[in-house]
Amino acid sequence: MTPTRQGNASGEAKSVGGHSLRKRLLWFVLAAILLAAVAQATTAYRSALRQADAMFDDHLQQMARSLRGGIAPGSGLPDAEDDAGFDLYVQIWGQDGTQIFRSTRSALPPRAVLGFSEVEAHGKHYRVYSLQTPFQTVQIAQDLDARTARARALALRAVLPFALLTPLLMLAVWWVINRSLAPIERTRRQVAQRGADDFSPLADAGLPDEVRPLVDELNLLFGRVRKAFDAQKNFVADAAHELRSPLTALKLQAQALRPNGRADQTPGEREAGIARLNQGIDRAIRLVEQLLVLAREEAGSGPATPGANVLVDLQDVVKLAVADVLPHARLKQIDLGLTDEHLASAQVLGEPEALRVLLRNLLDNAVKYTPAAGRVDVSLELAQGRPLLRVEDSGPGIAAAERERVFDRFYRASGAASETGSGLGLAIVQAITERHDATLQLDRSERLGGLQVSVTFPKSPSPA
């Protein structure tokens, strides 16, 4: 229970420290829509006020021009107080200054400036337009309060579409963003619901182009983790299976060395038993070492992470590996060496220690299965710009029918029964070869008559 609570607390901490892409998008987009709508509504409102003001001024001019021909004395015009929708006040004077017409209860002053002007009378403000003709002077006025109220009503009508459409637009944007991010949420649920040993690829159907590369990389990561997981399971299974027999043999040999009251056990027999025990221990150690190397190489199989590799000179790898195996070759009087005519300078991107293990395993196998006083040659050349590493021996070789199977774990060729070994050497070589994107080929050596192993690496990188 405690680890679960700690995991949840960690997840909550991460959740608090992070941010939601959906909430951020919604907040920014909806805020932008709201600000744009307010700005446009303000602009439309002010523009509507200016247009209404211009329209009312034009109405005053048109009314004044319609009256410049004169009216009959005593005739009347509709009064603003008689019709609430007609808020105009009119005064007309003749050539001699005699007032011809005046609206009922008009509060306008007796004279006004020609053209447009604003007049205050009896606590009210008026917009006045005066027009003079050869026959009379016409003055038209309008209550500014009523005029402003009507202009604002018209301006509000212009703003009304923004007030109605903005919430609808924000709702549509909210729906689109949620719908667009739904595949990401679906992918999150897939990852959250899968088991610890489920490394199947995530579905990328419907994902946006910005997120699909991330899912593709996650699928590649799942593939690498699955290989590492399988390698770990295989290692445990192989170790349990292969170590059972040698450990049982070691136990029996150790029990045989215990004093059992036998009087006929000679010191020579006891020394032979100790020698067999030491050989068994050496074989067990060798087996464990090879199992660990194989597990490590298979866990990192596939192209290595860029930056983890370095530029390796294969000449150095060849010389070091030959030096490692040379003592064993001398014990069997085997001629192990480099063919100088085929020792080219070649560099590859890789892991130096893994490449050394690769060549050392090939040389170990060659020396082990080559008869005494035989020969093992190592060559390094460039084939069409690609480094080619070749190991040849004068041993019995491997039958063509078995060349595919010898890469299986713990498989030993039919001609290798007389030699001790675990059957892991070529499996390790294949894992390292695949990790360095190289090709491995087994064939018969035309020159020495035994086995020929060729490892072809990718083309050497161009010098900087």
Residues in the chain, how many?
464
Gap between the Cα atoms of 304 and 353, Å rounded = 14
Q: If phi over 0 gives left and psi between -120 and 50 gives alpha, with beta otherwise, what is residue 19?
A: beta
Classified by CATH at the fold level, domain 19-68+86-193 comes out as Beta-Lactamase (3.30.450)
pLDDT number for residue 73: 47
Look-up of token digits 């182009």: 209
d(CA 458, CA 464): 17
CATH architecture of 212-298: Orthogonal Bundle (1.10)
Do the beta carbons of residue 378 and residue 322 sit within 8 Å?
A: yes
Domain at 307-456: CATH code? 3.30.565.10
Predicted confidence (pLDDT) per residue in 375-407, tens digit = 999 999 888 889 999 999 998 888 888 888 877
Contacts of 171 (CB under 8 A, 6+ apart): none
Q: Which residues make up the CATH 3.30.450 domain(s) of the chain?
A: 19-68+86-193
The CATH 1.10.287 domain(s) of the chain lie at 212-298
Taking a C-beta distance cutoff of 8 angstroms, is the pair 296, 336 a contact?
Answer: no
- Beta-carbon contacts of 371 under 8 Å, excluding residues fewer than 6 positions away, are 394, 395
Beta strands in 207-299 (DSSP E): none
> How do the pLDDT tens digits run along the chain, 464 residues long?
444 444 444 444 444 445 677 788 888 888 898 898 888 888 888 888 888 888 888 888 888 888 766 554 444 444 434 433 446 778 777 777 777 777 766 666 666 678 888 777 777 777 888 888 877 878 788 878 788 888 888 888 888 888 888 888 888 888 888 888 888 888 888 888 887 777 788 877 777 777 788 888 888 888 888 877 776 777 676 666 656 666 776 777 677 676 654 545 677 777 777 777 777 777 677 667 766 776 666 665 444 444 457 888 898 899 888 998 898 899 889 999 887 665 667 889 888 888 988 898 899 889 988 999 999 999 998 888 899 999 999 988 888 888 888 777 666 665 554 455 566 778 888 888 888 889 999 999 988 889 999 999 998 665 54
- Whole-angstrom distance, CA of residue 368 vs CA of residue 425: 11
Parts of the chain belonging to CATH 3.30.565.10: 307-456
Using CA atoms of 18, 23, 29, 34 in order, give the dihedral in degrees to the nearest 10.
Answer: -120
Closest CA to 455 of 367, 375, 376, 392: 392
